[in-house]
Structures are given as C-alpha cells and as structure tokens.
C-alpha cells in the first residue's frame, strides 16, 4: 500500500476509477444540497475542520511518504501543481476569509480538480496510499470552494474573472522559473503529462500554451456562471 514502486498501474475508466467518480457525484449532490440550505451555518465549524484536516493530512503525508520510500525529487514533489496551490489557498481561507484570494481560489478549485478526477495523472492503482490521497484531496477541493462561497457570503462580480486570470498567469511565471531550475513540469507548462489527461488535446509548443489560456478563460466564465447560481439573486454584483 505504501510501496514506492508501481506494482499495479492505474487504468483510466477502470472499475476502481468509475467507483470513485460515482462517489464524487454522490458527494457533490449531497454537498450542494446541504451547503445551499439557509441553516447549514450551524455546522460550519465541523466542515471547516474537516476540510482543513483533509488538506493538511494530504499534503503532509505526501511529502513524508515520498521521502520515506526514496522517491522524492524536486522536479516532482514540490507542492507546485495547481491542485497543491488550491490546497494551500483553501487552507488559508478556511481560517481567514479574504475576498481577493477567494476569487483566485474559487476559479482554480472547481473545474481543474474535476478534470483531474476524470483523467487522473496517476500511476498507483487501488489500494495504494497515493490512490486514496489523490481522490480524497481532489474531491475535497471543489466542495470546499462551494462551502467557502456560502459560509462567508462572497459574491462573484464579472471583474473577478479577469482578476483570477491575471493572478493565475502571474503564478505561472513563477512556476516556469521553478520548472527551469528543477527540470520539472509543474502546472504542466512544458506540456501534458505522459498519461492521457484532458491536457493532451492542446497539442505542443506555443499552441499548447494558447490552448491552456483559452481553456482557462472558458472554464472561468462557466465557473462564474455556476457560482452565481449558488448566490441569492439579491447578492449578485454586475
């Protein structure tokens, strides 16, 4: 379960994959139904601690596991992938509400983890530790974004889309520097991962980067629309 070697490789849309997707759909429906209730605020301390616990345990155990089995490399295990970014921003927001940071978090925390769940960049199959860590963490991120939206009464003005895109590109510049120093492929800026994922459709080179930018814009617009559906109409800003 904790071996550093891939003893059984994860297969896309296998039974173990489909089961996790069904579980995510069930949790999403139940979570949305609960978080959109007016009286859910009574249980916010529980959900705050639950999401915080998942985020801390996921990232901390990942580093401990990689070091303990001797697979840790700066090119692969620094917490610089987009979902790791989401985890740290989400952890901060759970204990310190901040509107500008939430704008960035909400837009990167909804669809990117869902795309990762649909086409995981995952080598280890069930019942390996990394299989559980990957799916639990990626399920928690979008649910926590909806939770924070409702808990803290945020609104999503149209300008938040531009703000989030600008901050994402600013982060990407820093990540590009980290990739240059470590030889890694954080944020998948140098190309899609070796396994088949949603990023594989964007081609190579400059067209790959342009495809990422266009996809981010489209995804952020859809996220904005969905987010505003979760806000009472009187609280929507134009």
What confidence tier does 57 reach under pLDDT thresholds 50, 70, 90? very high
The whole-number pLDDT of residue 19 equals 96
In this predicted structure, the answer to whether residue 238 has a pLDDT above a threshold of 50 is: no
pLDDT tens-digit map of 79-118: 999 888 899 999 999 999 999 999 999 999 999 999 999 9
Residue 197 confidence (pLDDT) = 64
Q: What is the mean pLDDT of residues 116-124?
A: 90
Bigger pLDDT: 82 vs 55: 55
* 3-class SS letters over the chain: CCCCCCCCECCCCCHHHHHHHHHHHHHHHHHHHHHCCHHHHHHHHHHHHHHHHHHHHHHHHHHHHHHHCCCCCCCCCCCCCHHHHHHHHHHHHHHCCCHHHHHHHHHHHCHHHHHHHHCCCCCECCCCHHHHHHHHHHHHHHHHHHHHHHHCCCCCCCHHHHHHHHHHHHHHHHHHHHHHHHCCCHHHCCCCCCCCCHHHHHCCHHHHHHHHHHHHHHHHHHHHHHHHHCCCHHHCCC
Residue 160 is predicted with a pLDDT of 95
Indicate whether 60 pLDDT > 90: yes
* pLDDT greater than 80 at residue 46: yes
Query: To 5 degrees, how large is the angle CA 130–CA 135–CA 137?
Result: 90
**Pick the residue with more confidence: 139 or 41?**
139
pTM of this prediction? 0.91
The residue extents of the domains of the chain are: 15-235
The whole-chain average pLDDT of the chain stands at: 90
Checking if the pLDDT of 144 tops 80, the result is yes
Please write the tens of the pLDDT for every residue from 212-237.
899 999 999 999 999 998 875 434 34
| Confidence label for 195 from pLDDT (cuts 50, 70 and 90) | low
Q: Residue 193 has what pLDDT? A: 74
């Amino acid at each position: 379960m904790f071996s550093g070697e891939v003893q059984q490789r994860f297969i896309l849309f296998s039974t173990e994959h489909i089961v996790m997707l069904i579980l995510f759909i069930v949790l999403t429906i139940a979570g949305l139904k609960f978080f959109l209730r007016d009286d859910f605020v009574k249980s916010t301390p529980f959900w705050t601690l639950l999401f915080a616990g998942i985020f801390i345990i996921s990232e901390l155990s990942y580093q401990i596991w990689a070091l303990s089995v001797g697979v840790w490399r700066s090119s692969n295990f620094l917490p610089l992938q987009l979902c790791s970014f989401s985890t740290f921003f989400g952890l901060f927001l759970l204990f310190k509400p901040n509107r500008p940071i939430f704008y960035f978090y909400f837009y990167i925390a909804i669809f990117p983890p869902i795309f990762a769940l649909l086409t995981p960049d995952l080598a280890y199959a069930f019942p390996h530790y990394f299989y559980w860590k990957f799916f639990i963490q990626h399920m928690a991120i979008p649910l926590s974004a909806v939770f924070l939206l409702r808990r803290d009464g945020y609104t999503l003005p149209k300008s938040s889309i531009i703000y989030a895109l600008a901050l994402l590109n600013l982060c990407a510049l820093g990540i590009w520097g980290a990739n240059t120093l470590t030889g890694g492929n954080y944020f998948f800026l140098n190309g899609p991962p070796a396994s088949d994922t949603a990023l594989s459709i964007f081609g190579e080179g400059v067209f790959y980067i342009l495809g990422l930018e266009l996809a981010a814009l489209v995804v952020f617009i859809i996220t904005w629309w969905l987010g505003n559906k979760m806000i009472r109409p009187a609280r929507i800003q134009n």
